[in-house]
Amino acid sequence: MADWKSLASSHTLQVEQFAFSGGEKQDITLHCRTLGTLNPGKNNAVLLLHGTTGSGLQFLQTDMADALFGSRKPLDCAKHFLILPDAIGHGESSKPSTSNGASFPQYSYTDVVNAQHRLIREMFGLQRLRLILGTSMGGMNTWMWGYLYPGTAKALMPIACLPQKLAGRNLLFRRLILAIIEAGTRCQSGHPNAPSKAVGLAWNVFQMMVSSPAKLERELSDPEVTDRHIADTMKKGEANDPLDAVGVPGII
């Protein structure tokens, strides 16, 4: 098994006065990781887009990366140039906790995709992509790539998402997370940048929604283990990052 994290190269693009869809402008940092080599024709690039609260690292987990990027696998990195960006508000790209706190501009999926488009053009000189593949939020971003930049990608592969307005259980769990974080932050100190135990509680709501029931049953086998798990997640947390990531304006 390869150590995919150590094999990946890290890249950072500084963008001056990025124009957010809400009208604000701010200098931002865009981060990505890459695997493989861009060929002379620049026609082997694949963009892989992560889910809410994640980062490009999700694709470098051994089980996933071995199945996707290994020799003779669907996205063999000996043949493809794989780009794994951290979306605005996630990973090592600009986000509230590292850039202006509560005054960080509210961002939408449009902003996320526009930033990714600038990244591939300005960092790698790419006008075309072989494939855009995204999971969950990354799948929504994939749909939006097709809408905002039609013809850029030869193929689009959105996974675990639908191009429709959020409603029902998906909408309810997101609004619950926002309510828990906002209420907990106010009760703790009234300061919007303060670490909040409520972030840990909200994170458990998120895990309950997106994790495998079988995995949770194995890992949370009795009340004591479950209580320790909840307590551990409540020890630290920065409120603004998950607030912005889960409550993307215009989506929920």
| Gap between the Cα atoms of 87 and 249, Å rounded | 15
The 10s digit of each residue's pLDDT in 90-127 is: 999 999 888 877 789 989 999 999 999 999 999 999 99
Statement to judge: residues 92 and 110 lie in one domain: yes
Among 43-57, 73-87, 129-143, 222-236, the least confident range: 222-236
Size of the chain, expressed as the number of residues it contains: 252
Q: Give the pair of three-digit tokens for residue 196.
A: 């909040």
In a domain, 188, yes or no: yes
Among all chains, which residue has been given the structure tokens 């939020």? 137
Q: How confident is the model at residue 213 (pLDDT cuts 50, 70, 90)?
A: confident
Phi and psi at residue 66, to the nearest 5°: -60, -40
Is position 197 within any domain? yes
Q: Which amino acid is at 183?
A: A
Q: Which residue has the higher pLDDT, 210 or 19?
A: 19
What is the residue range of 87's domain? 4-159
Most distant CA pair in the chain, distance = 57
Q: Judging by DSSP bridges, how do beta strands 156-159 and 25-35 pair with one another?
A: unpaired
Quickly state the pLDDT bin for 196 (edges 50, 70, 90). low
Answer yes or no: is 251 within a domain. no
Q: What is the DSSP string of 155-219?
A: -EEEES--SS---HHHHHHHHHHHHHHHHHHHHHTS-TTSB-HHHHHHHHHHHHHHS-HHHHHHH
* pLDDT tens figures, 51-91: 988 999 999 999 999 999 999 999 999 999 999 999 999 99
Token pair for 154: 């030869």
Q: Do strands 131-135 and 45-49 pair parallel, antiparallel, or not at all (unpaired)?
A: parallel
Q: What is the CATH number of the domain that holds 35?
A: 3.40.50.1820
Residues 210 and 49: their CA atoms lie apart, in Å, by 17
Residues 59 and 122 grouped into a single domain: yes
Q: Are residues 40 and 117 in the same domain?
A: yes
Quick one: 53 and 117 in the same domain?
Answer: yes
My answer on whether 105 and 177 are in the same domain is: no
Is residue 245 within 8 Å of 202, Cβ to Cβ?
Answer: no
pLDDT reading at 188 higher than 60:
no
What is the residue-wise DSSP string for 18-82?
A: EE-TTS-EEEEEEEEEEES---TT---EEEEE--TT--GGGGGSHHHHHHHHSTTSTT-TTT-EE
Band of the pLDDT at 230, cuts 50, 70, 90?
Answer: confident
3-state secondary structure (DSSP) of residue 84: strand
Residue 189 and residue 100 share a domain? no
CB 15 within 8 A of CB 28: yes
Closest by CA position to 13, among listed 122, 169, 98: 122
Let me know whether 193 and 72 are in one domain.
Answer: no
16 and 122, same domain (yes or no): yes
Q: Which DSSP letter does residue 17 get?
A: E
* Same domain, yes or no: 86 and 58: yes
Of the chain, the percentage scoring pLDDT greater than 70 comes to 88
